[in-house]
Amino acid sequence: MQASITRNNDNQFAVSGVLGFDSVTTLLEQSKALFSAASIINIDLSAVTHADGAGLALILEWLRYGKHNNKVVHYQNLPAQLQSLAVISEVDALLTTTKN
């Protein structure tokens, strides 16, 4: 399944598919355009079917993007796979503002 990001309303976004090395660059570029008008960015990850280290890098990059652009980023339904990668990588503390 190809990865995609869609805007559900002003502040709610949904990510689906595989967050991997083949998809994250495109998702990052698409997301910057989608996020530009939002002050709060709620990202629902419930439709993510698989994620690897590149997927973790993407969600960390979204946090960095928010910080540098004065936007608040929240995650909903962070997949267990990404949570485990964050713990192993010792970056789970950065994701403490996520919503599950």
Burial class (CB in 10 A: 0-12, 13-18, 19+), 51: buried
For strands 40-51 and 72-76, give the pairing. parallel
In sequence order, what are the residues at sequence separation of 6 or more whose Cβ sits closer than 8 angstroms to the Cβ of residue 56?
Answer: 82, 85, 86, 89, 91
pLDDT at 100 over 90: no
Global pTM? 0.90
Looking at per-residue confidence, does 76 or 96 come out higher?
Answer: 76
Q: What is the pLDDT of residue 18?
A: 96
- Write down the mean pLDDT value for the chain: 91
- 100 versus 97: which is more confidently predicted? 97
CATH superfamily of domain region 4-95: STAS domain (3.30.750.24)
